Amino acid sequence: MDEVEHTQRQVVIVGAGMAGAHTAVALREEGWPGAITLVGAEPHPPYDRPPLSKAVLLGAAEGSAFDIDFTALDVELLLGRRAHRLHPDERRLDTEAGPIAYDHLVIATGAEPRRLSGSHAAPRIHVLRTLDDAERLRSVLAARRRIVVVGAGWIGAEFATAAREAGCEVTVVEAADQPLAGALPAEITRHMADWYAESGARLLTGAQVSAVADGTVLLADGRRLTADEVVVGIGARPVTDWLAGSGVDLCPDGSVRADERLRTSVPEIYAVGDCASFPSARYGERLLIHHWDNALQGPRTVAAQIVSGPAGAAVHDPVPYFWSEQFGRFVQYAGHHTGADEMLWRGNPTDTAWSVCWLRAEKLVAVLAVGRPRDLAQGRKLIERGAVLDRGPAADTSVPLKTAVAERRGG
Ligand SMILES: Cc1cc2nc3c(=O)[nH]c(=O)nc-3n(C[C@H](O)[C@H](O)[C@H](O)COP(=O)(O)OP(=O)(O)OC[C@H]3O[C@@H](n4cnc5c(N)ncnc54)[C@H](O)[C@@H]3O)c2cc1C
């Protein structure tokens, strides 16, 4: 009897991006026998976003659809269908094309780019989040337009890289004094600023955009920049407006307030990926992570829980990881640091390959690796096991990072 009831039960996943698609896969891997419906607002089969600012933008790849056979997995895909309201009391999701009943619901609606105010409908002001955005920008690159990029964050840097490769004239304007100011300290990012000039892109820091109109970007200090096209990369915010009135708790940053097993404030509703924050015991704070690896790991916790209950699911507290390909460099970061953590250089930032470690109470908590993937891989494992670093060897690039450990004290 139990088995029959389980088989008939329905999981509805809202958002058919990385986290949504991988939740469907993980549910089948965990042995979920019931129905699975994946509801996505975009018309395209679920696809991967990192290639959008790299190969897809340059025309080296047509698309980046996931290699997942949803038919073989018996997953119902409802594409081009936006959810707009959730009624937990009735276990009902309202979508543009009618209501859907659920037993368990997974919120995986991701994030959307922040925009300059008043720029929503402007045809020459772009963002880069979706396959449609990438396709539009691909023709901009192919036509070698003069481009102003607003924001020198991860997306701005990757877009500028591709645009320079395509031969466009590129100016990047950044309100902070350095690129990546929100993510990394100035001691590091001032070296990254040089990468822009090396590639032939102009970087203007401390430059606040006050208006964009008729092919001109106006800066707060009165400077005017001519631009055929403007690309805005000023961060992203969780897509959670549609949850208003549902009773699902949100945090002040707009993320769904999930617990350590990615459960929301409402029973049988989970949240995963870019739209959800979770309490990290590892780092002693709530984390909202907008990176691919987090959207891959979270689905395993959610699926295990739906199938086996909380006892069957590990807590979601990964060592965060991401990578970026910019200006001919492979930049990787694992862990999480704050301004209070001790920074340790491993190599020279004017060289092509170097790393930085962050220590908290002697333990390695984060590592940044530029062109040193081994440091990253080894550092990530050391962070996972809370290893104490031996500063001398850790700063010496001829010593493998994995051996630069004070085992006696770190375990
Ligand atoms: C251009 C680009 C490059 C990136 N490069 C890297 C990289 O190099 N390294 C890295 O670590 N990370 C990278 N990322 C980040 C990474 O891609 C994201 O962290 C990941 O895609 C998050 O997955 P997600 O499923 O949570 O959200 P998303 O991928 O945003 O998917 C959410 C989906 O939900 C849909 N949706 C939203 N609202 C609704 C609704 N109401 N109803 C139905 N569907 C809805 C959206 O249309 C979207 O398709 C990149 C992101 C972008 C945009």
The pLDDT tens digits of the residues spanning 117-150 come to: 877 667 799 999 999 999 999 999 999 999 999 9
Q: Measured from the CA of 52, which atom of ligand 1 is nearest?
A: 1
Closest residue CA from atom 27 of ligand 1: 110
Residues above pLDDT 70, as percent of the chain: 96
Tell me what the mean pLDDT of segment 108-113 comes to: 98
Q: Please name which of 184, 186, 182, 176 lies closest in space to residue 206, comparing C-alpha atoms.
A: 176
pTM for the full predicted model: 0.95
| Of 89-103, 115-129, 197-211, 309-323, the least confident | 115-129
Q: Which of 44, 109, 158, 368 to mutate to test the pocket of ligand 1 (most atoms within 8 A of CB)?
A: 109
How far, in Å, from the CA of 358 to the mean position of ligand 1? Answer: 28
The Cα 293–Cα 79 span in angstroms is: 24
Q: Contact at 8 Å (CB) between 263 and 143?
A: no
Closest residue by Cα to atom 24, ligand 1, is: 110
User: Would you tell me how many other CB atoms lie within 10 Å of the CB of residue 397?
Assistant: 17
Structure tokens at 89: 């009391």
pLDDT tens digit sequence for 273-319: 999 999 999 999 999 999 999 999 999 999 999 999 988 888 999 99
Percentage of the residues of the chain whose pLDDT score is greater than 90? 91
Angle between helices 292-308 and 18-30 (to 10 degrees): 40
Q: What pLDDT band is residue 7 in, cutting at 50, 70 and 90?
A: low
**Mean pLDDT, residues 62-76 taken together:** 96
Query: Which ligand 1 atom is nearest residue 289's CA?
Result: 19
User: Is 19 near ligand 1, meaning CB less than 6 Å away?
Assistant: yes
Output the pLDDT for position 1: 35
pLDDT-derived band at 214 (thresholds 50, 70, 90) equals confident
Sign of CA dihedral 357, 176, 207, 289: positive
pLDDT, residue 2, reads 41
Q: Is the CB of 50 under 6 A from ligand 1?
A: yes
The one-letter amino acid at 215: G
Q: How far is CA 375 from the centre of its chain?
A: 22
Alpha carbon of 236 to ligand 1 centroid (Å)? 10
Instruction: Note the pLDDT of residue 313.
Output: 82
Inter-residue contact 288 to 295 (CB < 8 Å): no
Q: How far is the CA of 50 from the centre of ligand 1 (A)?
A: 9
Asked if residue 128 has its Cβ within 6 Å of ligand 1, the reply is yes
* pLDDT higher than 50, residue 48: yes
Q: Range with the lowest mean pLDDT among 4-8, 85-89, 129-133, 175-179?
A: 4-8
Q: Closest Cα partner for 321 from 301, 337, 338, 335? A: 335
Q: Is the pLDDT of residue 411 over 50?
A: no
Average pLDDT of the segment spanning 37-51: 98
321 lines ligand 1 (CB under 6 A): no
Query: pLDDT class for 6, splitting at 50, 70, 90?
Result: low
Residue 410 confidence (pLDDT) above 50: no
Average pLDDT over residues 351-358: 97
At residue 4, the pLDDT reads: 40
User: What residue owns the CA closest to ligand 1's atom 6?
Assistant: 50
Q: Which residues pair with 173 in a beta bridge?
A: 150, 204
pLDDT of residue 3: 42
In terms of phi and psi (left: phi > 0; alpha: psi -120 to 50; beta: otherwise), the region of 83 is beta
Residue 304: per-residue pLDDT: 96
Q: Is 109 in the pocket of ligand 1 (CB under 6 A)?
A: yes
Confidence of residue 193 (pLDDT cuts 50, 70, 90): very high
